[in-house]
Amino acid sequence: MQRFCTLAFVLGLILMVFGLTYLLPVLTAFFYHDGMAHYFLDGMSINIGAGTLLAGSTLRWRGELKNRDGYLLVAFFWGLMASAATLPLMWGIPNLSFTDAFFETMSGFTTTGATVLVGLDHLAPSLNLWRHELNWIGGLGIIVLAVAVLPLLGVGGMQLYKAEIAGPVKDSKITPRITETARLLWLVYAGITLLCILCLKLAGMSWFDAVCHAFATLALGGFSTHDASVGYFDSVAIELVLTIFMLISAINFATHYTVLFRRSLKPYSTDPETMPMLGLIAASILVCTGYLDYFDVYDDFFIGLRHVTFNLVSIATDCGFVSVDYDQWPPFVPWWMLYLSCVTASTGSTGGGIKLFRALLLWKQAGREMFTILHPHAIHPIRIGDTPVANKIIFAVLAFIFLYFISVVVMTFSLIFAGLDPVSALSAIIACINNAGPGLHQVGPATNFSNLSDFQTWICAIAMLLGRLEVFTLLMLCTPSFWKN
């Protein structure tokens, strides 16, 4: 009883804080006179009221969270926040079901960028901004924000941080105090967002589009204010700005902080993921552009280079912006882009997927196994950079990747069982579990997820959450041992 009351108290506090995020779309609604202000005010009142009631009724049971409580709270939090965020969408968009609204908000929070909405060009500005604000909040993780705030209210945050920032290096911290770490990460995140807004404005976007697309870019969320996504602008300058900031967002934000703190670019070259990520993307761009040129997809090599660069970077970094219908390209290129979405983003970035750190570890482990076969008595430790990696981390990575691929297989067959064609099903699950956005065929860049049945939509929403929480956090709740005292 004590355990669940403590969880309820924390959820109540988070609901109260989340209610304040409605202020930005309220101000936007008043500025544009789009008639949506009362919907957001009602949503704010419900969130703050429910949070106050929940926190107030469980105040005497507040206490420190245990590790397993952090994982439980994170799972509850994402489901609760995505549900609460549906209210303005359901009230403001006629005939929008809860299933579709939940998919949209879950896509926003998990920075997936997949959408079921059509007519985005004519959507009320405040509703469009709300979608992008959900992207931005989910980018670095609203849980990290809670880590910085909750200790001030008497609730420790380390358990939340470990559950949210799942990964092989989640115990490393910029500063000794986790709350200070969270604040610094948000400061860097907000500062780069502001810089992106200014650059997009200078590149030709309106202030509104610049704010929305900057929110989606830093979060690698991929939402757009237009049905045609970035293709609507047909601007090389805008695509260049977005490409640069997508690459920035795919790099560990702790590395960005170190660069700013030391006033040196050297940490980028010493980071074990940054240079391999940039090298992988650069090589992929050249190969894919040459492949399209060989098949005469575009009349000019540099036109192909432009479109491949933007769309490949977007999908590889798990952002999800599109400028052309790459589903019409020879199959090798879009499938290679989807593969890159699995492995390209760095640990500590706003991207999803397996993460490059795990892929590098798996590659080195495969090499070590072959070396051991030839030299069975040799000692051959695995190193990432100059740092030796403990075997327990390697075992954890192997377990993660196994569960990741099993999850892809199970959910893909679930979609096929429900009537979706295999290519659409597989690409949809890969795009959702990697939080990458569009897939291929029925869920490709020229369409969206609105054609899916309710059952298929829920499967994809679960895939988003599973990917955002990096598999272990959610699957752990399904094990009997988790619920034993």
- Strands (E) across 329-419 are located at 383-384, 387-388
Q: How far is CA 228 from CA 191, 223, 232, 322, 438, in A?
A: 28, 11, 5, 8, 12
pTM over 0.75: yes
Q: Cα torsion at 342, 346, 347, 352 (round to 10°)?
A: -40
- Provide the H-helix boundaries in 141-227: 142-149, 158-164, 178-203, 207-218
Tens digit of each residue's pLDDT, the chain (485 residues): 666 777 888 888 889 989 999 999 999 999 999 999 999 999 999 999 999 998 888 877 776 666 677 778 778 888 889 999 999 999 999 999 999 999 999 999 999 999 999 999 999 999 999 999 999 998 877 546 544 444 444 444 444 445 555 455 454 555 556 667 777 888 889 999 999 999 999 999 999 999 999 999 999 999 999 999 999 999 999 999 999 999 999 998 888 888 988 889 999 998 888 999 999 999 999 999 999 999 999 999 999 999 999 999 999 999 999 999 999 999 999 999 999 999 999 888 888 899 898 898 888 888 888 888 888 877 778 877 777 878 888 888 888 899 999 999 999 999 999 999 999 999 999 999 999 999 999 999 999 999 999 999 999 999 999 998 888 878 888 888 777 76
Residue 115 φ/ψ, nearest 5 degrees: -135, 155
- AA letter at 85: A
